[in-house]
């Protein structure tokens, strides 16, 4: 099996563990010194497996309330002992996703291979910012055309 396939399967297990609120499975394939920059605070991120673990219970409550966390696309690039992956996920309440069906959570993962095993050492989660002053029609037109607006 290729490293890319191994990492893709690791990611699929992680997404499944998040959806089922299985904390042990969520943290299983992470380094002890993992760093995560998440959507909610703290803005300086969390460092270490214990701090990473502590971020999940509130998210699990949100998932249990009916929120969606579904993998849309995964792209993996692997070297000998370092890899990265880009993920796009549907993440939101059914009402949020109905209003913005193409809205995606973006995750970038950094991985290290230790003792023949791939482990997540870095996570960065983000959502695109909605343009505050544009109408829904203008936003749809911009997204359809793939044109980014600029502030100046």
CATH code, domain carrying 51? 3.10.450.50
| Structural domain contains residue 24 | yes
Residue 82 domain boundaries: 3-130
| Structural domain contains residue 103 | yes
- The Cα-based distances of 6 to 3, 20, 29, 111 in angstroms read 5, 21, 12, 12
Alpha carbons 53 and 49: distance in angstroms, whole number: 6
| Structural domain contains residue 40 | yes
- Each residue of 51-99: pLDDT tens digit? 999 999 999 999 999 999 999 999 999 999 999 999 999 999 999 999 9
- Each residue of 22-56: pLDDT tens digit? 999 999 999 999 999 988 777 889 999 999 999 99
Domain count for the chain: 1
- Each residue of 139-149: pLDDT tens digit? 555 555 544 44
| Structural domain contains residue 147 | no
The whole-model pTM stands at 0.82
| Structural domain contains residue 149 | no
> CB–CB of 38/45 below 8 Å?
yes
């Amino acid at each position: 099996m290729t490293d890319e396939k191994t990492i893709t399967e690791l990611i699929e297990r992680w997404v499944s563990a998040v959806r089922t609120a299985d904390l042990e499975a969520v943290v299983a394939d992470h380094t002890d010194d993992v760093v995560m920059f998440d959507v909610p605070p703290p803005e300086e991120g969390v460092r270490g497996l214990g701090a990473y673990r502590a971020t999940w219970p509130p998210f699990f409550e949100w998932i249990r309330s009916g929120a969606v966390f579904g993998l849309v696309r995964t792209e993996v690039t692997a070297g000998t002992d370092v890899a990265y992956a880009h993920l796009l996920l549907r993440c939101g309440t059914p009402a949020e996703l109905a209003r913005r069906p193409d809205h995606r959570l973006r995750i970038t993962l950094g991985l290290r291979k230790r003792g023949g095993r791939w482990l997540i050492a870095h996570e960065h989660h983000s959502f695109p910012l909605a343009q505050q002053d544009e109408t829904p029609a203008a936003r749809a037109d911009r997204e359809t055309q793939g044109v980014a607006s600029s502030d100046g």
